[in-house]
Amino acid sequence: MAASIPKIGWEQISPAPLVLVFGKESYLAGRALQRLRALLLLEDPELEVHDVDAGQYSDGALELIASPSLFDEPRLIRVENGVKATDAFIADALRYLAAPVDGTTLVIRHDGSTVRGKKMLDAIRSTPGAIEVVCQPLKRDELVPFVRAELRLLERDATPGAIAALVDAFASDIAELANAVRQVAQDTDGTVTEQVVRTYYAGRVETTAFAVVDAVIAGDVARALVTLRQAIATGADPVPIVAAFAMRYRQLAKVSGAGGGDGQAARQLGMQDWQVRNARRDLRGLSDALLCDAIEAIAHADAAVKGAERDPQHAVERLVRQLAIRQAA
């Protein structure tokens, strides 16, 4: 059995004679192709770039494009729509795989939604020197690392609350999430905080987990439940909603035991001054006993939404109702 080729993430793509960009997440595939082109241009600014639609392919075109030119410039051939590849393209691709052209990088994009071109895919995956770039949709728990990586590329720092706010507001579309990260990083100065994100994207964040937490801490049972239901109706997941509660109540617990002024406590706790100031305001209506009970309830809800119970939406609504009623008492 032929050895399989390396499978890597889109951000790890590097020049190779043959690259398969596979998976349904078109945004990540596009990022991978941009990165590959940039890397090849760094190697040689004379790079020739050719685009081919495998679904509209005519017999012999691949061989013609890949043939060495008079001046022997390196070339990048980007093949889109491999999932609808014509019989002619599949046949020509198989012939090319048997004898790749030196100095040519062939990239084939296939989203995997059908088995069209399976023989071609199998051949690519057994070709020495080839690589496969996996571009599948990111799972919810992969979005926070994605945002962190985007911020590193932009050389910006952000608080965990800011990252959670971005993920919560734009989790349904990875392209929108990446654009939101880039926009807030380019348009603001200093560390990106939760407050910055909530102010900057007020229209998107107003019915997210953070608004639910705010309503609960304010003891507004009706607003908390309405906001929660709006958030879930627009695609918010119970897991990050409970995570937002855990984050906020952990902050409250840390601040409750801190002495000194807001600035001094912030430095001791690794928080922003405004976070300490807001936490102390919220703690005025929260006894130590209520805080302990809330943290315990959040722990139970966290387990429930992660599989301990069959209905995660019911579990998070129960948490919201329970905490808001206690806060209002």
Quick one: tokens of 257? 């035991």
Q: What is the pLDDT of residue 202?
A: 64
- Tell me, yes or no, whether 1 lies in a domain: no
- Tell me, yes or no, whether 61 lies in a domain: yes
- Tell me, yes or no, whether 91 lies in a domain: yes
Residues 174 and 308 in one domain: yes
Average pLDDT value over all residues in the chain: 88
Q: What is the pLDDT of residue 286?
A: 82
Q: What is the pLDDT of residue 37?
A: 95
pLDDT digits over 77-86, tens only?
999 999 999 9
User: % helix / strand / coil in the chain, to the nearest 5?
Assistant: 60, 10, 30
Residues 305 and 178 in one domain: yes
- Tell me, yes or no, whether 2 lies in a domain: no
From 88, 108, 134, the end of a domain falls on: 134
- Tell me, yes or no, whether 163 lies in a domain: yes
Quick one: tokens of 97? 């795989």
Q: What is the pLDDT of residue 326?
A: 86
Local confidence band at 2 (pLDDT 50, 70, 90 cut-offs): low
pLDDT digits over 290-316, tens only?
899 999 999 999 999 988 888 999 999
- Tell me, yes or no, whether 255 lies in a domain: yes
> What CATH number does residue 65 fall under?
3.40.50.300
Q: What is the pLDDT of residue 275?
A: 77
Residues 97 and 242 in one domain: no
Report helix, strand or coil for 105. strand
| pLDDT at 74 > cutoff 60 | yes
Share of the chain above pLDDT 90, in %: 50
Residues 6+ apart with CB under 8 A from 227: 207, 211, 212, 215
> What CATH number does residue 222 fall under?
1.20.272.10
Residues 114 and 215 in one domain: no
- Tell me, yes or no, whether 246 lies in a domain: yes
Residues 6+ apart with CB under 8 A from 176: 170
Quick one: tokens of 70? 């008079």
End-to-end alpha-carbon separation of the chain, Å? 69
Total domain count for the chain?
Answer: 2
Q: Which residues pair with 110 in a beta bridge?
A: 22
Residues 186 and 311 in one domain: yes
Residues 225 and 127 in one domain: no
From 134, 153, 175, the end of a domain falls on: 134
Q: How many whole angstroms from its chain centre is CA 218?
A: 31
Residues 218 and 173 in one domain: yes
Q: Judge residue 217's burial from the number of C-beta atoms within 10 Å of its C-beta, 0-12 exposed, 13-18 middle, 19 or more buried.
A: buried
Residues 6+ apart with CB under 8 A from 156: 185, 191, 192
Q: How far apart are CA 96 and CA 113, in angstroms?
A: 24
From 85, 115, 134, the end of a domain falls on: 134
Q: What is the pLDDT of residue 323?
A: 93
Q: What is the pLDDT of residue 320?
A: 94
pLDDT digits over 271-297, tens only?
777 778 888 888 887 888 889 999 999
Residues 112 and 163 in one domain: no
Q: How far apart are CA 323 and CA 325, in angstroms?
A: 6
Residues 117 and 89 in one domain: yes
Local confidence band at 70 (pLDDT 50, 70, 90 cut-offs): low
Residues 6+ apart with CB under 8 A from 303: none
Q: How far apart are CA 297 and CA 290, in angstroms?
A: 10
* 165 vs 31: which has the higher pLDDT: 31
Q: Which domain holds residue 124?
A: 7-134
Q: What is the pLDDT of residue 55?
A: 94
Residues 192 and 153 in one domain: yes
pLDDT digits over 201-228, tens only?
765 655 567 788 888 998 889 989 988 8
| pLDDT at 1 > cutoff 50 | no
Residues 117 and 167 in one domain: no
